[in-house]
Amino acid sequence: MARVKNILGRGEPVSMQNLQYDFVTLASHQLRTPLSAIKWYTEIILKRSGPLTKKQRDYLMEISRSSERAINLVNDLLDVSRIQEGGIHLELRPLRIEKLVEESIDNYASMIQAGGVKIDFEIISGPLPIVETDPDKLKRVIGNLLSNAIKYTPRGGKILIILEKKGNNIAVMISDSGVGIPKTEQTRVFDKFFRSTNVLKLSSEGTGLGLYIVKSLVEIMGGKISFSSEEGKGTIFSFTLPLKI
Ligand code: ADP
């Protein structure tokens, strides 16, 4: 244990590893405000200022996209450090999971349209019972798996979301007909910063932190996650969620 003062000012002795987490947390918090300001003011110029030339509009859109990417990275880093410090707390509420899935599909409507993929949603032997879980964390999990399915499925591809009650759990399955994950890399899928070689060639954007966060959140919510994938054919991510924790 290093007898150094915690940089967040808590004052207790901390290990070098904790010091590293605190550094990431502090730096991420400090970055979030200016990055959000950049995105916010760029949007204002785009929407509310007078006429812009095409070049000016393109540059501003690029600033907006880049700041959003940076905000996503900062949010992912904050989540990772919270997970590693055991600082994730569940706020349980009764919810209809099918509604939350529909909301997630709506949230990604423009990405689905831009990606040229078709999405189907099925409930097997519905209506489903109410689940007591943390809606924000579940939204993060479903949003991440869904956005990956969209991102890694070429135009004309299909995505299917299936919900099913299985014993005391709800099983969620998100499958796609996308690029898949090479067999030799599949053991590393839930590792931090993992990005498969076939995806790196596509020059798609990503942090490689999403699935690490997804797996951690599913387990904190009392569930399990697994996947199967074949390169060039597609990927299926499945996770369970207990009806009550
Ligand atoms: P990111 O998408 O930001 O790279 P993730 O942690 O969400 O990070 O995913 C890690 C990697 O797993 C991706 O870069 C990609 O190689 C692979 N992957 C995840 N989901 C899919 C999918 N549905 N189809 C193909 N590959 C995927």
pLDDT digits (tens, 9 = 90+) for 52-100: 999 999 999 999 999 999 999 999 999 998 898 888 999 999 999 999 9
What's the CA-to-centroid distance between 183 and ligand 1, angstroms? 14
- Atom 11 of ligand 1: nearest residue by CA position: 195
Q: What is the pLDDT of residues 103-139, one digit of tens each?
A: 999 999 999 999 999 999 999 987 899 999 999 999 9
Sorted by sequence, the CB contacts under 8 Å of residue 97 that are 6+ apart come out as 128, 131, 138, 163, 170, 172, 241
What's the CA-to-centroid distance between 94 and ligand 1, angstroms? 30
Q: Which among 73, 85, 101, 36 has a CA at the least distance from the CA of 210? A: 73
Q: Which among 160, 73, 74 has a CA at the least distance from the CA of 120? A: 160
Query: Which of the listed residues 73, 146, 199, 205 should we mutate to test ligand 1's pocket, taking the one with most ligand atoms within 8 A of CB?
Result: 199
pTM assigned to the model: 0.87
Measured from CB, residues less than 6 Å from any atom of ligand 1 are 144, 148-149, 152, 176, 178-181, 189, 194-196, 199, 206-211, 235
Instruction: Provide the token pair at 24.
Output: 């990431």
